Amino acid sequence: MKKFSIVIAGGGSTYTPGIVMMLMHSLDRFPIRSLKLYDNNPERQKVIADAVALAMKKVAPDVAFSYTTDPEEAFTDVDFCMAHIRSGGYPMREQDEKIPLSHGVVGQETCGPGGIAYGMRSIPDIMQLIDYMEKYSPNCWMLNYSNPASIVAEACRVLRPHAKIINICDMPVGTLRRMSYIVGKTPQDLDVRYFGLNHFGWWTSVKDKDGTDYTPQLIDYVSKNGYLTQKAIETQHMDASWQETHRKAADLLAVTPDCLPNTYLKYYLYPDYVVEHSDPNYTRANEVIDGREKNVFGAARAITASGEFKGDEFSIDNHASFIVDLARAIAYNTHERMLCIVENKGAISNFDPHAMVEVPCLVGNDGPEPLCQGEIPTFQLGMMNQQVAVEKLVVEAYCERSYQKMWQALTLSKTVPSAKVAKEILDDLIVANKDYWPELH
Ligand SMILES: NC(=O)c1ccc[n+]([C@@H]2O[C@H](COP(=O)([O-])OP(=O)(O)OC[C@H]3O[C@@H](n4cnc5c(N)ncnc54)[C@H](O)[C@@H]3O)[C@@H](O)[C@H]2O)c1
Ligand SMILES: O=P(O)(O)OC[C@H]1O[C@H](O[C@H]2[C@H](O)[C@@H](O)[C@@H](O)O[C@@H]2CO)[C@H](O)[C@@H](O)[C@@H]1O
Ligand SMILES: [Mn+2]
């Protein structure tokens, strides 16, 4: 039986230990011979890698483990690259969130001006990862979580149209788990129909394998509680701000009562509410720095200091299981049904065929094959046309180094009230991103 070789790009990510744990616990169904970590920040990666080395020595001593900042070493002889880099790190995420808020506009990692700013940083870094992969392991698949996934996916379509990269998001799998709690099933029992852009979509149907339709039951539940469930609170990491986001889905559903909304729609449908409930001096970046980053790096340092991995220091969640399931679906040509971000090509029949959309796909060794979701309603179509134009303008602005197109992108975002405010935010973002963005003219 073939054993696979994997590199995790963004080895120093807070999500790396969870993915490594998932890989170690999946060896019987997805055997691997080698695991490498790759990062461009040696100090950050070393903290995670030293702990992972001890964990692997204990759990999977036969799997070769190494870590490096050298692209050739990282990308040579690999079958899968699992990528989750953060260009500019948390300090730049903080700027993405705080600059728009200082103008009274939503400050978010992937939505609105913050997502646009992050997109301009991520594009060159992801293209570089693809180039390393294609140079050193041309048959490798890149499974990419790096955000903002919608802008990154559009940049891949335009700049590396033949690359073996699949852009993915953990939000739909996390929400499916919550849905399964609500209807008393497991996520594996349920098949969904879903359409949208990344962080911008709707479920139209949730059924079990016998065809029993749980959509009306879910609509009833979500209209009262959002996606908040007691079991999710007890079993999943859930900061208060995430709980509030899941609860807010009730107000999103009120706008489209037949379709179950992605929680990220709150930034577009209720931007005034989001701004009112944001602290411009302490945003989600600060919560993550003081929470997840401290916890994961603290646990890693404690393992290394004690010289021993006990077994329960790192947890496995949806995020880790989805990317491993995806790799396995490609490796064994399973044709499992999974949501991926792919070129539309008619999957949403009344929407731009060249838009990068998030829809259910059958995944096998040729990658994802999108399933037709048919025509979508006028309201969602209107919102998606506006948002996809924002995403396309960002990629055009990057390619053409165009200030004008960046201004248009910000102006068109549903989160921004006027061209005047868009320009003020853009000028601040340009200063903050001077070490990352190309010069715009
Ligand atoms: N798509 C999704 O649904 C989803 C879900 C969760 C996280 N994410 C994304 O995963 C990424 C990691 O998140 P995190 O909170 O763990 O961030 P993090 O800052 O802890 O980790 C990112 C790592 O990437 C490294 N890095 C940055 N630029 C790099 C480059 N050019 N080459 C190699 N390494 C580089 C950093 O040094 C850092 O160690 C982010 O992009 C985040 O938005 C996506
Ligand atoms: O603010 P962060 O860094 O905690 O999270 C940002 C990411 O959020 C999404 O992932 C969520 C997931 O959807 C949610 O259900 C819960 O389990 O937490 C995850 C993050 O920890 C999202 O899909 C990503 O794109 C974001 O990067
Ligand atoms: Mn996501």
Q: What is the pLDDT of residues 86-121, one digit of tens each?
A: 999 999 999 999 999 999 999 999 999 999 999 999
Whether residue 155 contacts residue 395, with contact meaning beta carbons closer than 8 Å, is answered with: yes
Residue 13, pLDDT above cutoff 90: yes
Q: How high is the pLDDT of residue 239?
A: 86
Cα 177 to ligand 2 centre (Å):
14
Residue 214, pLDDT above cutoff 90: yes
Closest listed ligand to the CA of 322: 1
Mean pLDDT, the chain, rounded, equals 97
Q: How high is the pLDDT of residue 231?
A: 77
Residue 214's SS3 state is coil
Whether residue 224 contacts residue 250, with contact meaning beta carbons closer than 8 Å, is answered with: yes
Out of 84, 108, 118, 171, mutate this one to test ligand 2's pocket (max ligand atoms within 8 Å of CB): namely 171
Is 168 close to ligand 2, i.e. is its CB under 6 Å away?
no
Cα 94 from chain centroid (whole Å): 18
Measured from the Cα of 144, ligand 1's closest atom is 1
Q: Averaged over 43-63, what is the pLDDT?
A: 97
What's the token pair of residue 147? 């955000």
Cα 110 to ligand 3 centre (Å):
8
Is 22 close to ligand 2, i.e. is its CB under 6 Å away?
no
Q: Averaged over 351-372, what is the pLDDT?
A: 98
Cα 85 to ligand 3 centre (Å):
13
List CB-based neighbours of ion ligand 3 within 5 Å.
169, 171
Cα 73 to ligand 2 centre (Å):
30
Q: How high is the pLDDT of residue 235?
A: 67
Out of 7, 8, 13, mutate this one to test ligand 1's pocket (max ligand atoms within 8 Å of CB): namely 13
How would you write 298-332 as a 3-class SS string?
Answer: HHHHHHHHHCCCCCCCCCCCHHHHHHHHHHHHHHC
Which one of 170, 189, 191, 251 is the catalytic residue? 170
Sheet hosting strand 200-208, strand order edge to edge: 190-197, 200-208, 260-261
Residue 204, pLDDT above cutoff 70: yes
Measured from the Cα of 168, ligand 1's closest atom is 1
Q: How high is the pLDDT of residue 1?
A: 83
Residue 236, pLDDT above cutoff 70: no
Would you place residue 169 in the very low, low, confident or very high pLDDT band (cuts 50, 70, 90)? very high
Is 106 close to ligand 1, i.e. is its CB under 6 Å away?
no
Q: How high is the pLDDT of residue 237?
A: 63
Residue 341, pLDDT above cutoff 70: yes
Q: How high is the pLDDT of residue 256?
A: 98
Is 236 close to ligand 2, i.e. is its CB under 6 Å away?
yes
**How far is Cα 240 from Cα 114, in angstroms, rounded to an integer?**
21
**How far is Cα 433 from Cα 146, in angstroms, rounded to an integer?**
18
Asked whether the whole model's pTM tops 0.95, one would answer yes
Share of the chain above pLDDT 90, in %: 96
Out of 7, 8, 14, 15, mutate this one to test ligand 1's pocket (max ligand atoms within 8 Å of CB): namely 15
Active site residue 264: yes
**How far is Cα 7 from Cα 63, in angstroms, rounded to an integer?**
13
CB within 8 Å of 407: residues ≥ 6 apart: 419, 422, 423, 426
Residue 283, pLDDT above cutoff 80: yes
Say which DSSP state 263 is in: G
Query: Look-up: residue for tokens 């996606």?
Result: 227
